[in-house]
Structure 1
Amino acid sequence: MKAKGFTTRIVHSDRQQQPEAGAVHQPLHNSVLFEYPDVQGLIDVFQGKSANHAYARSSTPSVVALQNMICDMEGGVSACVFTTGMSAISTCLLSLLKAGDHIIVSHYLFGNTNSFMQQLEQYGIDVDFVDVTDAANVQEKVKANTRIVFTETIANPVTQVADIEGINQICKQNKILFIADTTMTPAYLFDAKSYGVDLIVGSLTKYFGGHGNALGGWVTDTGNFDWQDYPNIADCYKKADTNLWGITQIKKKGLRDMGGSIASEACHLLSVGAETLALRLDKICANALNLAAFFRSHPKVAKVYYPGLPSHPQHQRAADYFKYFGGLMSIDLVEGTDCIQFLNDLQLVINSTHLGDNRTLAIPVAPTIYYEMGLARRQEMGISENMIRLSIGIEDLDDLIADFEQALAKV
């Protein structure tokens, strides 16, 4: 029986791949090497004629099981997993771009991704940062050598929502590869494939795993893009199914050559964590929506950044795109208040730089994760100097409100 439900498919994913001894989870395969009594089998792996394993840097049964789970979840044709989300993003782009290419990226990218995009310019790749909330800004920057448009669905920390539909139309008209980081809106919240995204990338460390105990990243090819239209595919990877040309190059020139290989233990922890993804997001998103309303009505909170509020500039777009509005929000306290004191007074909420955890997390944005950007760049991105980013967890709502209430009372 082929299950249709989101959670049912995840819970039974490992088991339906028939691991040995009747296990319901894929066992951890910690062997670096794989034996071939008939050496022709090893030769076939190296020549791409066999999907078996040769060396753990490229693949293991544990890795393949996680990739299959992700690919099924997102309706893709193939997926590749990495040691971190940043490894997935950087490897993907370095595998597909070359000197002289042009890429258009979101002006609101997360700090580390933003920093990496600036590094691309050192490799002779032209990068334009644009406001992706309006696809017209993307259209203005399209050139003959534009290869990729890269955006996040919901930006961190100001929560701008990209014009996915408009960007998709531009990319399809110009045969440009459309890559979206859906870390903040996993497959349960957003069907990226149906909105035209070609490659889905992001961090498995966040909502996918959810428990703050394993790092991981991924790339999924949705099958939307015709790789015959992409000029940077090496001839040696133009074999068999054209749908696999791109992901094959990412796996070979990226994962294999750059070495961002995920460990079997992390694969196991992430796949088990993913089993409750939908259940966790139901609670997280409900908590976030209620907390956004609480903060909006509190006299010591000047502004709330959350797509679920009708006052958010892209509220209707978020309502159209996503099942729920996500678990990420930011707040500004009223002028003259001390956000550091407020954070120190929190007793239940954890001061941490992570996102997408079961626990609610808080961090002052300007002096930490966006410190390197500098004041001018922060202002361009809409980040205030006293902004607090919150990643909402699965705790009981009354307990969260009580903690924020007591801390705000002391400000």
Structure 2
Amino acid sequence: MKNKGFTTRLVHADRLINSPESGAVHQPTTNSVLFEFKEAQDIVDVFQGKQAGHVYGRSSTGSNVALQNILNFLEGGVGAVTFATGMAAITATMLSLFKAGDHILVSHFLFGNTRSLIETMGALGIEVDFVDVTDVINVKSAFKENTKAVYLETIANPVTQVADLRAIGQLCEDRKALFLVDNTMTPANMFDAKSVLASLTIGSLTKYIAGHGNVLGGAVVDTGLFDWASFENILPLYRTADTSQWGLTQIKKRGLRDMGATLAPASAHAISVGLETLALRTEKTSENALRLATYLHGHEHVAAVYYPGLADHPQHFLAREYFNGYGGILSFDLTDGIDPIAFLNALDLVICATHLGDTRTLALPVAPTIYFECSEQQRKDMNISDNMIRMSIGIEDIDDLVADFEQAFAKF
């Protein structure tokens, strides 16, 4: 399927990559927790990694492996691991690969929940520094002898800062450090992680991948670009002949098996089905978001608009270089005197909810919700105002979205 279009490959991926039984076009949902072995030696070999197979539903099932195969196919990697949520994928990766005394650099603009996790890691003895990743110079100056990785998001949530991805990837390669890229906002049809030398992509499947607000999931994909033989934190038990699998094996064993955040088989199936329309949905949301951002940009009641597709966005040209479309996340500041809560209540079509990547357009007030646990100074440092509203743009007809804003603004 190499020469086929992106959506063509997605629509046929399950039946061609995974070859389900009985002519099914989707891998059936595997609901069994346990798996029988006719020969006792076989279960020993699977446990010891000498033979492929499923031993327990917490570690793997046919449904999960089928989804992992598709995700890996899309990224052009050497393997993938799925989890119950995106946060589970991040947590498992971090706690599987790093230990007390290690140093990691993370984006200063990390999403609130992820930032909270990173602070928890600091309490466990993993040294963390937050850096402005929009310029590689900031990252380079923060490197230390014990720096093991750089972790960032392609497009930050909610102020949409774009990381200096290619330059940071090259820096990590030169320093033999892991480059961990959260591409939740820019899935494979929008962004080629290997082109910026990403070691691992980590993200939420809940958002754009599944796309319909009906299932949770997360994943890690190994691009195959990092030399795990140079990474001293891999335990001797997982240093097998195939060095390309060392990182994923440790994440599977220490992160998935031991921590237990397993993606339910039914969820894996739902994500696979939602994945088929990924390109169609993201193309429409990107188109709608640019149109709406342009409309808001000139409105008298809007103080600022944050969207990478606008020419005056600080990283607009980076976004043009890296992404196929500018995505569906958009934020804006209302002018003083307009209460964000009152404005959201004035919208009829737009749904007030916390989520991203849905088919419906969603909005929420940023400061008192998803960044409520951050201090006022932290929010100021991330350019998050008290008047900011974050939006996840859906696939509705754009004229209907604009009309909803028109009638809401008319009330102020």
TM, length-normalised to structure 2 = 0.99
CA displacement 1:144-199 (0-9 Å, x = unmatched): 11111000000000000000011112111110000000000011100011110000
Cross-structure match for 1:50: 51
C-alpha separation in 2, matches of 1:301 and 1:294: 10
Structure 1 distance, partners of 2:84, 2:340, is 34
Number of the residue aligned with 2:379: 378
Return the alpha-carbon distance in structure 2 between the equivalents of residues 279 and 169 of structure 1.
Answer: 32
Contact 2:103 2:128 in 1 (8 A): yes
Shift of 1:4: 2.9
Number of the residue aligned with 1:108: 109
Q: Is 2:323 the counterpart of 1:322?
A: yes
Q: 1:215 to 1:380 in 2, by over 3 A?
A: same
Asked if residue 164 in structure 1 is aligned to residue 197 in structure 2, the reply is: no
Q: Residues 174-185 of structure 1: matches in 2 within 5 Å?
A: 174-185=175-186
Distance 2:262 2:88 in 1: 9
Cα distance per residue 1:341-364 (max 9 Å; x no partner): 110011110000010100000000
CA contact (8 A) 1:3 1:9 kept: no
CA distance in 2, matches of 1:221, 1:18: 23
Counterpart amino acid of residue 4 in structure 1 = K
Partner secondary structure for residue 385 of structure 2: coil
Is 1:19 paired with 2:9?
no
The two structures have a TM-score, normalised by structure 1, of: 0.99
Q: Where in structure 1 do 4 or more consecutive aligned residues deviate above 2 Å? A: 1-4
- Tell me the alpha carbon deviations over residues 336-389 of structure 1, each in whole angstroms, 9 at most, x when there is no partner: 111111100111100000101000000000000000002111001110011000
Question: For residues 315-354 of structure 1, what are the structure 2 equivalents within 5 Å?
Answer: 315-354=316-355
- Shift, 1:3, TM fit: 5.0
Number of the residue aligned with 2:237: 236
Q: Give % identity.
A: 61
Letter in 1 for 2:357: G
User: Please, which runs of 5 or more residues in structure 2 have no aligned partner?
Assistant: none
Provide the C-alpha distance between the structure 1 equivalents of 2:7 and 2:384, rounded to a whole number of angstroms.
Answer: 36
**CA offsets per residue over residues 251-287 of structure 1, 9 Å max, x none?**
0111000001000110011010000000001110000
CA distance in 2, matches of 1:365, 1:75: 35
Secondary structure in 1 matching 2:162: coil
Match of 2:284 in 1: 283
Residue 52 of structure 2 aligns with an amino acid whose one-letter code is: A
Alignment-derived partner of residue 250 in structure 2 = 249
Paired position in structure 2 for 1:4: 4
SS at structure 1 position matched to 2:358? coil
How many Å apart are 1:240 and its aligned residue? 2.1
- Structure-1 separation of matches of 2:167 and 2:346: 43
Aligned with 2:141: secondary structure? helix
Distance across 2 between alignment mates of 1:255 and 1:136: 35
Q: Does the aligned pair in 1 maintain the 2:166–2:195 contact within 8 Å?
A: no
Aligned residues: 411
Q: CA RMSD in A?
A: 0.8
Q: Work out the CA distance in 2 between the residues paired with 1:331 and 1:185.
A: 20
The within-5 A match list for 1:70-85 is: 70-85=71-86
Whole-angstrom CA distance in 2 between matches of 1:53 and 1:240:
21
Q: Residue 394 of structure 1 aligns to a residue in which SS?
A: coil
Whether contact under 8 Å (1:207, 1:357) holds in the other structure is yes
Equivalents in 2 of 1:315, 1:399: separation in Å?
27
Inter-partner Cα distance in structure 1 for 2:134 and 2:233: 29
Q: 1:92, CA displacement in angstroms?
A: 0.3
2:181 is paired with a residue whose SS is: strand
> Which residue in the other structure is 1:173 paired with?
174
**For the residues of structure 1 that align with 2:281 and 2:254, how far apart are their CA atoms?**
36
- Are 2:170 and 2:196, in contact at CA under 8 Å, matched by a contact in 1? no
The aligned residue for residue 211 of structure 1 is: 212
